Amino acid sequence: METNWILFYVTLICLIINPITAEIVNKNVERNLDIASQLVKTSYKIQVEETAGKPLKEYEFIVKDPNLSFISVKDGFNKRPTIEERKEKENGLTRYKITFASNAPQQTLLIETVSTKNILPYPSEIKQNDKQLVKYVGGLYYYSYYLTQTQRLNVQLSSSNIIAHTQVRPFAVMSNKISYGPYENVAKLTDDELFVHYENQSPFLTVNTLERTIEVSHWGNIAVKEEIQMTHTGAKLKGSFSRYDFQKDGRSGQSAVKSYRTYLPASATGVYYRDTNGNISTSNMNQMRDSVELDLRPRFPLFGGWKTQYVLGYNVPSYEYLYNSDDDYVLKMYVIDHIHDNMVIDEAVITIILPEGSSNIKLEPPYSIERRPNSLVHTYLDTVGRPVISFSQSNLVENHIAEFTLKYKFSKVSLLQEPLLVIGFIYIIFLLTIVLLRLDFSITSHSHKD
C-alpha cells in the first residue's frame, strides 16, 4: 500500500516539474484535387487529434489558393461547425477559425473549396489546329499550422496527355490521375510546390458581367431577364480563323466553344434568346422533368480571347416562388441560374422589381453580398413607382446557386389600383367623347334686316 502511494506522489511531482503540453496534430489528411475543368476543386478529409486528450474546440484551416470562390465545412457527424474568416493581406492567405459543435479529443473535418483563374493556358496563344495546354501551380503538401502525421494527394486531370508534373516519391501516374504519398510527419507550414502541365480542352468560359432582373407581379407572373457578356479565357487564337478548316477537320479548334447548355426552372415559359442582331435561331430547348434545358449556340464559335453577349429571358408562375399570409409576402428564388457547366461569373448584379406599394422590405441572402441603394422604377400604370432592390457579388461559381429570401408587405387593396386607373381612363375618354358630340361646331349664316 505504501509503495502505491510513493508511486503516486512521484508521478504527481514529475507532472508538476514537466507538465504534458497540449498539441493539435493532423493525424491523417486525404486531399482530392480536381483540375479537369477551368475550376480548381479540392476536397479534404482531415482527422484531427488533441494529443493531451483534452476536448478539441477550435481548428485553424488555411487556404493558399488565390481567387477562392467557395468553401464548405462539415464535421464527422455531417454538421456544419461555426466558421470565422480571417484574411492576411501581407502573404495573401485566408485563415478560417473552425469551432466544433461537439467537444472531443478527436475530430473529423470534411472541407470542399472551389477557386477560379488558377489554371492558366500555357502557352497563352495557340493556332487553330493546336491543342490547348494548361498549367497548375499549387501545394504538394497540406499547408497547415499543425504537424501532419500522414497525408495523401490525388490529382484528377482532364486528359492523360501530361507534359510534366512534380515528381516527389512516392507517386504514381494512372491515365489522367496522379497519386502522391503517403507522406509522413510533414512539419507545419511546409510549402513545397506542385506543378502540373497537361492538356485541357474543356471550355474556359467566363461570364464577365451578369445583369439579372426579376420583375414580380401579383397578377400571377414573374419575369426574369439576364443580360450576359461572356469571354473565352483559354489560350488565345494565334493567327487568322479559317471557317473551312474548322468545318472540314474535326480536330480543328478543339478548345473552341461551339455550344453550351443552360438550365432554367421546369415551369419556365416564353423563353427568348437574342443578341443585338435579333433572335438567335440556332438554339434548342428541351423540356426535362425538373428543368428546361437550353442548348445555346452562339452565332460563331468562341476561340480564346473572343467575346459574345446576349439576352436570355423567361417567365415563371408566381405561385411557385411567392408566398403570402394576409399582407405579408415572401419571395424565394435563386440568386443565379446554371449558365453553363463549371461556370465562372466575375460579377453578377441582381435587381428585383416589386409591385408598386410594397413596403417594409427585408432581404435575406444565402451568403455575403454587396447591397446597393434601393430605388424606384416607373412602368406603365404606375404613379409613385415600383421599389427596386439591388445587390451584387463577384467571383461566383455553380455552388452559389442558392435561394435568397425577400420579405415585404403589400396591401391587397393596392391590387385595385391598376384596374381602377384603366377604368378611370376609359371613363374619361367616354366622357370627353359625349361632351364633344354634344357641342355644335357648325358655321351658320344669319340674315340682316335693312
- Counting residues of the chain whose pLDDT is more than 70, the rounded percentage is 90
Residue 21 has pLDDT above 50, yes or no: no
Q: Find the mean pLDDT for residues 103-116.
A: 94
Kindly tell me if the per-residue pLDDT of 290 is higher than 70. yes
Q: What pLDDT score was predicted for residue 412?
A: 76
Closest residue by Cα to residue 318 from 265, 254, 263, 383:
265
Q: Is the pLDDT of residue 17 over 70?
A: no
pLDDT of 282 strictly over 90: no
Is the per-residue pLDDT at 349 higher than 90?
yes
Average pLDDT of the chain, as a whole number: 88
CA distance linking residue 142 with residue 136, whole number of Å: 16
Residue type, 382: D
Q: In terms of Cα–Cα distance, which of 280, 352, 269 is closest to 309? A: 280
pLDDT at 448 over 70: no
Residue 93's pLDDT is what? Answer: 84
Residues 221-233 have a mean pLDDT of 96
Q: Average pLDDT, stretch 214-231?
A: 95
Cβ partners under 8 Å of residue 149, min gap 6: 25, 26, 27, 28, 184, 185
Whether residue 18 has pLDDT greater than 50 = no
* Whole-structure pTM value: 0.87
DSSP assigned state of 156: E
147 three-state secondary structure: strand
Measured between alpha carbons, how far is 399 from 39 in angstroms, rounded to an integer? 12
Residue 20: pLDDT band (50, 70, 90) is: very low
Average pLDDT over residues 441-449: 62
Q: Which residue has the higher pLDDT, 321 or 242?
A: 321
Name 260's Cβ contacts closer than 8 Å, sequence gap at least 6.
203, 205, 295, 296, 339, 340, 341
Q: How far apart are CA 293 and CA 262, in angstroms?
A: 6
Taking residues 385-393, what's their average pLDDT?
A: 94
pLDDT for 9 equals 54
